[in-house]
Amino acid sequence: MASAMSGPGAGGSRDILWRVLGWRIVASIVWSVVLLPVCTTVFIIFSSIDLFHPIQWLSDSFNDLYSSYVIFYLLMLSVVIIIISVFNVEFYAVVPSIPCSRLALIGKILHPQQLLHSFVHAAMGMVMAWCAAVMTKGQYSFLVVPCTSSESLDRPAAQTCLNEYHLFFLLAGAFMGYSYSLLYFVNNMNYVQFPIIQQYKFLRFRRSLLLIVKHSCMESLFLVRNFCIVYYFLGYIPKAWITTAMDLHTDEQFHRPLDTISGLLNLSLLYHVWLCGVFLLMTWYISWILFKIYSTEAHVFPVQPPFAEESDECLPKVLNSNAPLIIKYLAFQDLMLLAQYSSSRRQEVFSLSQPGGHPHNWTAISRECLSLLNDMTQRLVLYQEAAATNGRVSSSHSVEPKELDSPAKTPDARSPFGTPFGSSMVKRVAGIFDGNTCYGLPQSPQLIRRGPRLWTSVSGQQMPEFSNPSPYTFLNNAEGRTVRQPSVFYSWIENKREQIKNFLSKRVLIMYFFSKHPEASIQAVFSDAQMHIWALEGLSHLVAASFTEDSFGVVQTTLPAILNTLLTLQEAVDKYFKLPHASSKPPRISGSLVDTSYKTLRFAFRASLKTAIYRITTTFGEHLNAVQASAEHQKRLQQFLEFKE
């Protein structure tokens, strides 16, 4: 839904996506439409407020609710809410998009899909403003009104004039719709954050309702202020265009022009436009929050399907498949809940297949968790290498061509028993880095080829490498060592690039748009860390539970690989947090409707990793001394056993 899928598995991915999320999407849209009359009732009551005659005010308001024109506009507003809900479904993301420079943010806003989103929301905002203006009645109802000047009354056919109040309403609605779309992407409001604590949907909605009201009132106030400024300078353009196209006149005796300071100081107009903005934002935010609540509700994937045709929805297969990201997130969330709370489902994970007696469920789950954690390890190592060299390649790390083409030295990274730096995983991570400039990793293959410099690597072990062609030539000197010699063309290109970069770095305006924000770069590394946190918690809880529940000993065979992966990742995390800006916490915004929890995911990941290792060490205790591990791992493991970490 959020992105197009292709390939032979696209049909299966769409099927499981619809089976898991289909009813949730429909339910969120239905509830958005059901709550629309409530919001409309509140809007009509406050739009005709009359504190001096409260009984007459309430009586007229409720009489308007049963009128035919209000029912018609309710149907139109329902169509608008359905369209807004569809765009919420199409543009959601479980991994936030973090632009690391102002230029990247501008490119994100000007993306064709985002422009379509903004155009549709501006149009829907204008439609909602039109409905609100008509339901408000009075002088805001019609765009064309009879002129009231004395000159026109003397003529046999009265002239028609432009009602600038109504035009102001329509343009304000379009401006608010576009601003909503702009803030939707700038503030990552399409980011779907999964709750840490599972609650009932009603409780989550009730907790968010007060925030929606508060946020809508404040945001509408700022949007009205901004629109008044825009209309003061540019309001004459649409007014002149409409009067010319429709052959209308302006009746300045009826009201002052609104593109003047005295015309904009109309408190009644400003109040009704502000109320229209609150109505628009509240209905859209309710639709948005309902989609988030329904889509992040926990889903139970069966560990062992009761029927063969339902095998595509079983937990081990979903974890190892190329399912949409939101399905993978729900699967890892279910794994965490399963490992922590469900003893019967844990027994299914530890069970053996019949016939054959193979632990297929445990093997599939542990392999995917370890692969995910190894990916994070390699990502951190690459980021550290880039930060350490500041994008420059050190000449002390040369790789011989024969090492690059050797298939025997590239074990599969998805194997829980292999090295966490397998070639297939490195290529996947390198592809991520190439597509996301936030990481700031150099594109030089020499830097990418460099192996991780952790104490877990064995000196004689050959690390898997890329087989990309190198711009360097390799010569043997008199001592028999391989010396890397860059080609003339490559050196010329590098020199020109450095000259251009130095020239542009001296231009303040260019650097204002191109300079990268270090905090954003750090946040981008852990943008999808929620899935890794669930993998850590699920895997560690399963390993801890296996001490008493694993009657077949299926977990014990992979315990060395699990400890090796966790300790290697712990070392990479420790080194990462020694980098500049990595330990600085961004300011927390409490009581805000916009979720910014993704900015502190790295701290949650570090805490979850340490907790996962302690969970295993406190459960197994001194039994871990019998686990085969390197000397450095044994030393680090002993520190966890003695609670010195």
Q: Give me the chain's average pLDDT, please.
A: 82
What tokens were used for 357? 């007696």
456 band by pLDDT with thresholds 50, 70 and 90: very low
Tell me the C-alpha distance between 250 and 160, whole Å. 9
- Phi, psi of 474, rounded to the nearest 5 degrees: -110, 125
- Alpha-carbon gap, residue 570 to 576, rounded angstroms: 10
Query: Do 144 and 246 form a contact (C-beta atoms < 8 A)?
Result: yes
Quick one: pLDDT at residue 406? 34
Give the pLDDT confidence score for residue 308 in this predicted structure: 65
CA distance 454 to 470: 25
In angstroms, the first-to-last Cα distance of the chain is 44
Residues in the chain: 645
Region of poorest pLDDT, from 20-29, 120-129, 195-204, 418-427: 418-427
pTM: 0.81
SS3 for 322? coil
Give the pLDDT band of residue 417 (cuts 50, 70, 90): very low
pLDDT digit string, tens, across residues 152-209? 444 544 588 899 999 999 999 999 999 999 999 999 999 999 998 889 999 999 999 9
Give tens-digit pLDDT for 96-145: 999 888 888 998 999 999 999 999 999 999 999 999 999 998 888 889 88
> Which helix or strand (DSSP H or E) is residue 161 part of?
strand 160-162
User: CA angle, corner 134, sides to 130 and 140, nearest 5?
Assistant: 90
Q: Average the pLDDT over 9-13 and give the result.
A: 61
Instruction: State the Cα angle at 565 between 564 and 566, rounded to 5°.
Output: 95
pLDDT score of 612: 96
Contact indicator for 220, 277 with CB cutoff of 8 Å: yes
Cβ-count burial of 449 within 10 angstroms (0-12 exposed, 13-18 middle, 19+ buried)? buried
What is the per-residue pLDDT across 561-589, written as a single tens digit (0 to 9) for each?
999 999 999 999 999 998 887 877 776 66
Q: Is the per-residue pLDDT at 482 higher than 70?
A: no
Q: Sign of the C-alpha dihedral, residues 371, 372, 375, 376?
A: negative
Who has greater pLDDT, 434 or 15?
15
- Which of these, 525, 536, 542, lies nearest to 567 by C-alpha position? 536
Please report which confidence band the pLDDT of residue 420 belongs to, taking 50, 70 and 90 as the band edges: very low
